[in-house]
Structure 1
Amino acid sequence: MSHYTLASKDNWIGRSSNQELYLNEKIRFSSIEKPLQSEENKVIALLGYSSDEGVRRNQGRVGSALGPDAIRKQLGKMPNHLNNETRLIDFGNLECPDKDLEGLQSELVIAVKFLLENNATPIILGGSHDLAYGHYNGLSQHLPEGKIVGIINFDAHFDLRSNTDGNNSGTPFYQIAMEHDTKGTPFRYLALGIRKDANTKDLYEFAERHSAFNLPQKHFNMAHSEHVELLLMQFIEDVDYLYISIDLDGFSSAYAPGVSAASPMGFSPDIVLKSLKLILESGKLLGLDVVELNPNFDVDDQTAKLAASLIHYVIHNL
């Protein structure tokens, strides 16, 4: 692949126990250009989307291309509670040195399909949110025709902007919706944490026309946890598989200052973790990504640690 680099072991730092007590000791390395050895053990695959071209096009502050490696550096320090049979593999980064965002998205489709074909659960590290288009298509193209993949997006933004002027970090779910329109298939989309001060009225109108569900930020909190749980259960029941996207700029900047579009008005980690618990218990998770980490604006690696903690929770509860 023209946009691909292998993983660097230098990103996996931390304590050494000689007992694999930490994830930097558990991690293994492979290539998306090399099939895994055939086995029945669970494989968790980390793949970086090291690009902020979509953010640049969307007039955001660049720097999220550095996000994947920043997440790895925090994840490697965390304790390992995975069983011996589960394999945690870093497959390196897809990059965008020539601003060919559309080519990069196409390569992500191929990479995600490769991971699924090798019985791995893809966890994509971002990187700008335009990765969602490639990630989703890789998941859906892997499945038999007729299977429905529901999208749950933890985000302040719908990311349903038109791509008339090209793809960017605000267009991925619009692109997906348009493809479903062309095929005449249902677009299953739930956005959690949406803010009116971050979305224009035409985006709300587009979401309504396409039967896309959303829960506003003012109701996406622990005080409304029963309502959140009911909405999630209803959505999960109507789909065969789930694709989960966590945009770090949906969190309040009190938790996530290092993102492409920071705001103090976002949600908190507790309601996201509660939601992830319900999602994981369904057994329908097919792929997950964490996006928009911008280390250039992080404070004491707080946002990178948040991203790593979310991934740590998911991989230990799959």
Structure 2
Amino acid sequence: MKYYKKTNQSIWTGRASHDQLYMHEKIRCINLESHVFDHDSSKIFGLLGYACDEGVVRNQGRVGAVSGPDSIRKMLASLSNHFKEDTQIVDAGSVTCPDKNLEQTQESTSLSVQKLLSNKVFPIVLGGGHDLAYAHYRGIKKQYPNQTIGIINLDAHFDLRQVIDQGTSGTPFYQIAQENDTFNYLCLGIQKASNNRELYKTAANFGVQYLENDKYTIANKSNVQQLVGDFMASVDMIYLTIDIDGFSSVYAPGVSAPSPMGFAIDIALDTIEQICNSNKLISCDIVELNPIYDKDNATARLAARLVYQIIQYLQG
């Protein structure tokens, strides 16, 4: 596959214990194109990189998200391993964009997500720009064409810009809405200053549910949980996408579009735990980490901890 690259095991480094005390000792790299999964009773999580920021470039954003997947891997590597022995975590490599052909990269990503799902592996996709969402959703839809898929997006932006000539990191949910008969989309953390009036109109036209960032707080926890719970009850399965730029830049300075007015970690973790406990979460991703603008790897560390928590919540 032209756009696929297996991860070199050497990226997973850290303190050695020889007893899987650390994540780099537990995670193994596989070639997704040829690997045969062992279908036993264990839970398998598959990390898949989306090493692409062509969509960000097209959306006039700050380049650098192409290096996001490896930055998250490096920060995840040294964390302590407290997972069950039979919980498998594999690094399934990355889909790349070597020739600015975003559309082909997205198609390769969709097929990779579908392959993981078809092998009963839970995908955790590491971005990369939020154009990943279009590819990710299509991969889920390929595997589950008759299921109602609800999208929950933790984000400052609707990403509902209309497509003009070609898709960007700002158009993924518009593309999904246009290509599907049903569109179930809940966005948490929306910022008025980051979404113009036309985007609000588009959201209303598509029946998008959302909560603005001043209401997406731990103080409003009960209402947030009610909204999320009602949304999940209306669909068969959930695709969770987490845009790191939705967090306050206090926690996440290394993103394509930073904001000091973003949401806090506590409410995000509460929502993520609720979604993971629903038994409806089918796949997730973390996007828009931009290592070029990170400070002491703070944003990469946050992304890595989110991956860690998701696996912890889901392993059962």
Pick the TM interval, shorter chain.
over 0.9
Partner in structure 1 of residue 153 of structure 2: 153
TM-score (norm. length: structure 2): 0.97
RMSD (Å) for aligned C-alpha atoms: 0.9
Aligned to 1:28: 28
Which residue number corresponds to residue 100 of structure 1?
101
Are 2:221 and 1:225 equivalent residues in the alignment?
yes
Q: Is the 8 A contact 2:247 2:262 kept in 1?
A: yes
* Residue 234 of structure 2 corresponds to residue 238 of structure 1: yes
Mapping 1:1-318, distance limit 5 Å: 1-34=1-34, 35-145=36-146, 147-180=147-180, 185-318=181-314
Shift of 1:144: 4.6
Q: CA deviation at 1:40?
A: 3.2
Please report how far the alpha carbon of residue 249 of structure 1 lies from its aligned counterpart in structure 2 after TM superposition: 0.5
Q: Across the two proteins, how many residue pairs are aligned to each other? A: 313
Give structure 2 stretches of 5+ with no counterpart: none
Distance 1:12 1:303 in 2: 18
Q: Is the 8 A contact 2:9 2:28 kept in 1?
A: no
Amino acid of the residue matched to residue 5 of structure 2? T
Contact 2:191 2:213 in 1 (8 A): yes
Deviations 1:157-204 (A, max 9, x none): 000001123111000000000012xxxx22000000000100011111
Measured in 1, the distance between the counterparts of 2:296 and 2:227 equals 35
* Cα shift at 1:37: 3.0
Tell me, yes or no, if the aligned pair for 2:26 and 2:81 is still in contact at 8 Å: yes
Question: Structure 2 CA distance, aligned partners of 1:246 and 1:81?
Answer: 24
**Cα offsets for 1:188-241 (capped at 9, x unmatched):** 000000001000111111111111101000000111111101100100100110
Offset of residue 140 of structure 1: 1.6
Shift in Å, 1:16: 1.4
In 2, the alpha carbon distance for the partners of 1:226 and 1:249 equals 24
Contact 2:129–2:169 (Cα < 8 Å) also in 1: yes
Give aligned-pair identity as a percent: 48
CA distance in 2, matches of 1:314, 1:22: 17
Q: Which segment is superposed worse, 17-26 or 303-312?
A: 17-26
CA separation in 2, counterparts of 1:252 and 1:261? 11
Q: TM-score, normalised by structure 1?
A: 0.97
Q: After TM superposition, which residue ranges in structure 1, 4 or more long, deviate above 4 angstroms?
A: none
